[in-house]
Chains A and B, each alone.
Chain A
């Protein structure tokens, strides 16, 4: 239904070489402004769908974008400093570990940070 482009959107450039202290493949997802404070946006990265959240303290969290419960869009969820609520049936997931506090299977989590140029950098395995 949706074209692949609109999800990968401004995001996925290829793996960036020579990432900072982190090991594994680094991907630049573009400027931090894409994600408003307190909200999340989805990105298609290397064929995976990832929801990136910008907490109100400015830090980022990245988790898999599809709710393991019934496929809800996690990036549309409501967050606080520690968890995200899926918009469909309100299962809650810890943003740091991906574990559900309401008994759903876990989300996958990914290391993510903002680089010196204010770009979102995401690390895949």
Chain B
């Protein structure tokens, strides 16, 4: 310990920078350091940070999204470990500071280290408050299994893991505030029945009054969350495992897990032990300094400033900026005067905004209220001396930006008060953006002002994504994304640019598709490497462009294409779809969704022999064997002895069919037969994006033909309708009628002609649901059906060449194309495992 301290002290003689130590590596600590670095503080300070949590700094706000599964824990980091390295910050992650020696200027941590400082920042944040309830803890003083706090990544991940265990169905959340409601909503997405027990008289009582709370309660109960107000929890029931909660004067509630979200308490232990002034939290002055300590600062939820303790990020950002002004000397006059907390949140999917007073306090205060419980809308504004001193908005946040600004700056209000609540004659959305003050905060998570966005746009960045990357606006909870876009559009004065490379077929070759195809043909470029050498700037390869080029060249040259395997995506190298744990899924061809007992026996045999973790019927009417190890792929194909279903490629996939006229009492055409014929003809054909087809035997459309890339419907009188450009995946679009024809042969001809036209004209990864409306159904009909441009024969011939060139890729099983083609790339043990069903 001493040795370590003196070693650091010795090296200090060489490095004359001041030693800055930060206790707490959460949102406030890391933000303070960022602000210090932004003011050139890196040259003045050698920075060391201690964090109790064993990670870099993450966006705590996003934990609600991690709980609901909308966001992966790995994706919410604000500062990765690499960031600390790049900025020469020594991070002791997973290490807790226990005591400060203010006189020796040393910080003692639980790994036995003593770290000297010249400047110290305390940013220890808060922890979940645990009310006095029987049965919370084990004998050893830990929370009992099944009982959770909601503060850290670990809390959240443990909660998710517990909620996902099959035998856990019911949860009770203690606390009906912001965190409690978020926890309740999040648990619901894991199929858990949730009840919220709240000791207050109405939900969210720190943010709003009883009327708003009652409207919110309706909205929350409409989501299926049961709410108990005026209910105090007295004990957690159950001996081994949690069995329920006991309430004072009310019946017990049975449950398998309990989340305690009954408020937060500042982490002040270190400060108390070290003799620093602590009241409700660590006391700081307007410079964010601890009184009487010139070199000790504190910031974030652990501080009390002018009697206030905050529990939101906006004050944290404001405090961090002032602190950095003083630590670096950038602005000695800078002062923090407190934050007017206007909260704008999404709680359990409901928009909630609140600021200032919840209700009138003086006889002369005006109160404007609107309540529409059936739509979950409630708005209340408190006005004093013609200025807004409080507002609560629920379920409709359209006027929030304007109201927040009026509240922050004490703007004069319109005579007609109702226009504060609605856009009646008041400034509309457009005007609202223009009228916002330069300092108005657009992104409350990352503290980005309108001015910062405008300056970024003026500095030459005129894509919305670019501005978001550069300013981090919109990268927190995401509720301000629309506003960010509006501000960017307003600042760019309508000239918001699309990314220049977006017109190119692939980003690495600066040519649009038609020009690229022309150059390829003229110069006889038959391999991906030849295209890069001839057409890319400096002849440079580009990994992101390889797959698109491979697809295009195969389409153009058919059997004369020079197939370089490294240009393919892994799926196309091993003819299967890679999965989250590095295993693959295998979908054998099952034309038209029709199978045989013999095929089923082979599939069953393979599933047994290779211990396939899941066998599943797909949405494309075939059978998926999931979780196959890469090295087993060739053996699995050999045992199946069926062709590939191409479920992995940017290619023709499947034809769904319905039973059709041979069996169905309504069937007017043999949809099954036609579907099988179409699939046999076009199997495996590569295309700019997936092609999924269907044939239905009558307009009841049991094969969902109206929402397919090409969908065919038999109509009475032996005729067939052909629809193109339909979708029902990430986008929903009803296909456009291309033609109604008399024979299955014509269906196949026009289908092939359309697909070839699409293959030649569509952008890489452009599905038909974008391509068809872009080109226009009238144009397509004239080219494909009426042959107005005389392209018909050429399109048919090109498609025929591709059809003739089909080889089942699974025949590579006997003769790998490259050495180690099916060698495993990772020992699966280290990867997240797919559960076996």
A-side residues, CB < 8 A to B, are 1-2, 4, 6-7, 9, 33-42, 44, 49, 51, 56, 65-66, 69-81, 83-85, 87-88, 90, 92, 99-100, 103-106
Chain A residues whose CB sits within 8 angstroms of the CB of B546 once the complex forms: 78, 80
**Bound state CA distance, A90 and B80, in angstroms?**
18
Given A2-B629, A2-B828, A49-B827, residue A76 in contact with residue B543 (CB < 8 A): no
Chain B residues whose CB sits within 8 angstroms of the CB of A100 once the complex forms: 82
Is B580 an interface residue when CB atoms closer than 8 A count as contact? yes
A65 near B826 with CB under 8 A, answer yes
B543 near A85 with CB under 8 A, answer yes
Query: What's the nearest-Cβ distance from chain B to residue A39, in Å?
Result: 5
Given A83-B543, A105-B82, residue A76 in contact with residue B570 (CB < 8 A): yes
A75 near B826 with CB under 8 A, answer yes
**Bound state CA distance, A76 and B820, in angstroms?**
11
Given A49-B830, A106-B82, residue A6 in contact with residue B567 (CB < 8 A): no
| In-complex Cβ contact of A34 among B529, B581, B819 (8 A) | B819
Q: Contact string, B624-641, partner A, CB cutoff 8 A, digits 1/0?
A: 000001010000000000
Query: What's the nearest-Cβ distance from chain A to residue B102, in Å?
Result: 36
Given A65-B825, A80-B542, residue A35 in contact with residue B830 (CB < 8 A): no
Is B134 an interface residue when CB atoms closer than 8 A count as contact? no
A9 — nearest CB in chain B belongs to which residue? Answer: B823
**Bound state CA distance, A75 and B824, in angstroms?**
9
Chain A residues whose CB sits within 8 angstroms of the CB of B832 once the complex forms: 70-71
| In-complex Cβ contact of A51 among B542, B818, B825 (8 A) | B825
Q: Contact string, B526-554, partner A, CB cutoff 8 A, digits 1/0?
A: 00010000000000111110110000000
Chain A residues whose CB sits within 8 angstroms of the CB of B557 once the complex forms: none
A4 near B827 with CB under 8 A, answer yes
Chain A residues whose CB sits within 8 angstroms of the CB of B80 once the complex forms: 103-105
**Bound state CA distance, A34 and B823, in angstroms?**
10
A73 near B826 with CB under 8 A, answer yes
Q: Contact string, B66-110, partner A, CB cutoff 8 A, digits 1/0?
A: 000000101000001110000000000000000000000000000
Chain B residues whose CB sits within 8 angstroms of the CB of A69 once the complex forms: 74
Is B829 an interface residue when CB atoms closer than 8 A count as contact? yes
**Bound state CA distance, A39 and B819, in angstroms?**
10
**Bound state CA distance, A78 and B570, in angstroms?**
8
Q: Contact string, B797-837, partner A, CB cutoff 8 A, digits 1/0?
A: 00000000000000000000011100111111111110000
B818 near A36 with CB under 8 A, answer yes
B827 near A36 with CB under 8 A, answer no
| In-complex Cβ contact of A87 among B529, B569, B820 (8 A) | B569
Chain A residues whose CB sits within 8 angstroms of the CB of B649 once the complex forms: none
**Bound state CA distance, A99 and B823, in angstroms?**
26
**Bound state CA distance, A105 and B55, in angstroms?**
12
Query: What's the nearest-Cβ distance from chain A to residue B142, in Å?
Result: 29
Is B578 an interface residue when CB atoms closer than 8 A count as contact? yes
Q: A71-B826, A78-B566 are in contact. List 6 more A-B contacts (CB 8 A).
A: A2-B827, A35-B819, A77-B570, A79-B566, A84-B543, A99-B82
Contact size range, B: 35 or more
Query: What's the nearest-Cβ distance from chain B to residue A7, in Å?
Result: 5
**Bound state CA distance, A11 and B642, in angstroms?**
34
Chain B residues whose CB sits within 8 angstroms of the CB of A81 once the complex forms: 540-541
B823 near A78 with CB under 8 A, answer no
**Bound state CA distance, A66 and B828, in angstroms?**
10
Please list 10 pairs of residues, one from A and one from B, whose beta carbons are closer than 8 Å in the complex, sorted by A's number. Answer: A1-B827, A1-B829, A1-B833, A6-B631, A49-B826, A71-B830, A74-B825, A78-B547, A81-B541, A88-B578
A55 — nearest CB in chain B belongs to which residue? Answer: B541
**Bound state CA distance, A119 and B21, in angstroms?**
49
B508 — nearest CB in chain A belongs to which residue? Answer: A80
Query: What's the nearest-Cβ distance from chain B to residue A98, in Å?
Result: 10
Query: What's the nearest-Cβ distance from chain B to residue A76, in Å?
Result: 4
Chain B residues whose CB sits within 8 angstroms of the CB of A72 once the complex forms: 582
**Bound state CA distance, A50 and B573, in angstroms?**
20
Chain A residues whose CB sits within 8 angstroms of the CB of B74 once the complex forms: 69-70
Chain A residues whose CB sits within 8 angstroms of the CB of B540 once the complex forms: 80-81
**Bound state CA distance, A81 and B529, in angstroms?**
12
A36 near B566 with CB under 8 A, answer yes
Chain B residues whose CB sits within 8 angstroms of the CB of A9 once the complex forms: 823
A41 near B820 with CB under 8 A, answer yes
**Bound state CA distance, A77 and B818, in angstroms?**
15
A87 near B824 with CB under 8 A, answer no
B529 — nearest CB in chain A belongs to which residue? Answer: A56
| In-complex Cβ contact of A42 among B82, B541, B824, B829 (8 A) | B824
Query: What's the nearest-Cβ distance from chain B to residue A6, in Å?
Result: 6
**Bound state CA distance, A56 and B531, in angstroms?**
14
Interface set, chain B 36-88, CB cutoff 8 A to A: 72, 74, 80-82
A37 — nearest CB in chain B belongs to which residue? Answer: B566
Given A99-B82, A105-B81, residue A39 in contact with residue B825 (CB < 8 A): no
| In-complex Cβ contact of A33 among B72, B570, B819, B827 (8 A) | B819
Chain A residues whose CB sits within 8 angstroms of the CB of B829 once the complex forms: 1-2
A80 near B543 with CB under 8 A, answer yes
Chain B residues whose CB sits within 8 angstroms of the CB of A106 once the complex forms: 82
Query: What's the nearest-Cβ distance from chain A to residue B406, in Å?
Result: 37
Chain A residues whose CB sits within 8 angstroms of the CB of B541 once the complex forms: 56, 80-81
**Bound state CA distance, A66 and B824, in angstroms?**
12
**Bound state CA distance, A29 and B567, in angstroms?**
25
B532 — nearest CB in chain A belongs to which residue? Answer: A80
A41 near B825 with CB under 8 A, answer yes
**Bound state CA distance, A90 and B829, in angstroms?**
22
B574 — nearest CB in chain A belongs to which residue? Answer: A76
Is B564 an interface residue when CB atoms closer than 8 A count as contact? yes
| In-complex Cβ contact of A38 among B81, B567, B631 (8 A) | B567
Given A34-B819, A80-B542, A99-B82, residue A44 in contact with residue B827 (CB < 8 A): yes
Most chain A CB within a 10 A radius of its CB, from B72, B542, B546, B823: B823
Query: What's the nearest-Cβ distance from chain B to residue A70, in Å?
Result: 6
A42 near B828 with CB under 8 A, answer no
Query: What's the nearest-Cβ distance from chain A to residue B608, in Å?
Result: 17
Chain A residues whose CB sits within 8 angstroms of the CB of B573 once the complex forms: 39, 76
Query: What's the nearest-Cβ distance from chain A to residue B576, in Å?
Result: 11
B566 near A38 with CB under 8 A, answer yes
Chain A residues whose CB sits within 8 angstroms of the CB of B570 once the complex forms: 76-78, 87
A41 — nearest CB in chain B belongs to which residue? Answer: B820
Is B565 an interface residue when CB atoms closer than 8 A count as contact? yes
B578 near A6 with CB under 8 A, answer no
Q: Which 9 pairs, one residue from A and one from B, show the smallest C-beta to C-beta distance?
A: A38-B566, A73-B825, A80-B541, A75-B825, A36-B818, A76-B570, A73-B826, A1-B828, A80-B543
Interface set, chain B 390-412, CB cutoff 8 A to A: none
A75 — nearest CB in chain B belongs to which residue? Answer: B825
**Bound state CA distance, A15 and B249, in angstroms?**
73
Chain A residues whose CB sits within 8 angstroms of the CB of B631 once the complex forms: 2, 6
A78 near B819 with CB under 8 A, answer no
Query: What's the nearest-Cβ distance from chain A to residue B475, in Å?
Result: 11
Chain A residues whose CB sits within 8 angstroms of the CB of B831 once the complex forms: 66, 71
Query: What's the nearest-Cβ distance from chain A to residue B254, in Å?
Result: 37
